[in-house]
Amino acid sequence: MSVAGNMHLFHGILEGILAVERIIPRHTDVSLKLIGNIRFDLEDCVPDMSCNYCWIEKTGHLPYRRMYEELSKCYLGLLLFQPHYYNISIGLPNKLFDYMLMGLPVVASDLPEIRRVVEDVDCGILVDPADVEAIAEALDYLLSNPAEARRMGENGRRAVIEKYNWGNMETVLLDFYETLQK
């Protein structure tokens, strides 16, 4: 599993850690890879971080190429943005498309724009990002159903290649700019 990019508390890192911790008894080989800069003191937020959380790997900042190399080793992507800011509720984070490009099924916050893409593409499971139990159930489902997880990941990758890419979006944006000039 992976979380990529700059990570703040509102990115749901703690909820992700607590959810992974709940499924470890059933999925003993699971690990959580935090790819990028953690913008808060994780050790202050998670008790006994140095002793009990050996299943968490922190890479720190990586150049894009290395980030994608690390993502390619992962099984799924976590996108657990907490809707503390309006922009989070209406935005589409790049990491959603990074996960999709890499063929990773996602466990993602059930927020309007994220929901629109994930449901349209059928590339993951939407959850209440504050509900650790719901997150754990989604993780357990994907880990217990590898064919379904693979199908969702393939759907996401196909959608980025065919639809959610600059080649397609460039035309839409330029056409829109043309209407503004008239």
**What is the three-class DSSP state of 16?**
helix
Name the residue with higher pLDDT: 105 or 4.
105
Average pLDDT over every residue of 108-132: 97
What is the predicted pLDDT for the residue at 111? Answer: 96
What is the predicted pLDDT for the residue at 42? Answer: 72
pLDDT in tens, 141-181: 999 999 999 999 999 999 999 999 888 878 878 888 888 87
* Domain count along the chain: 1
What is the predicted pLDDT for the residue at 16? Answer: 95
Contact 104, 153 (CB under 8 A): yes
What is the predicted pLDDT for the residue at 146? Answer: 98
d(CA 73, CA 3) in angstroms, rounded, equals: 12
What is the predicted pLDDT for the residue at 49? Answer: 62
pLDDT in tens, 59-117: 989 998 999 999 999 999 999 999 988 888 888 999 999 999 999 999 999 999 999 99
Interacting residues of 169 by C-beta distance below 8 A, sequence separation 6+ = none
Q: Residue 20: how many CA atoms within 13 Å on its side-chain side? A: 27
Average pLDDT over every residue of 106-132: 97
Q: Which domain holds residue 27?
A: 2-181
pLDDT over 60 at 50, yes or no: no
Q: What does the block give as tokens for 41? A: 């003191």
Q: Looking at residue 70, which CATH number applies to its domain?
A: 3.40.50.2000
Name the residue with higher pLDDT: 56 or 141.
141
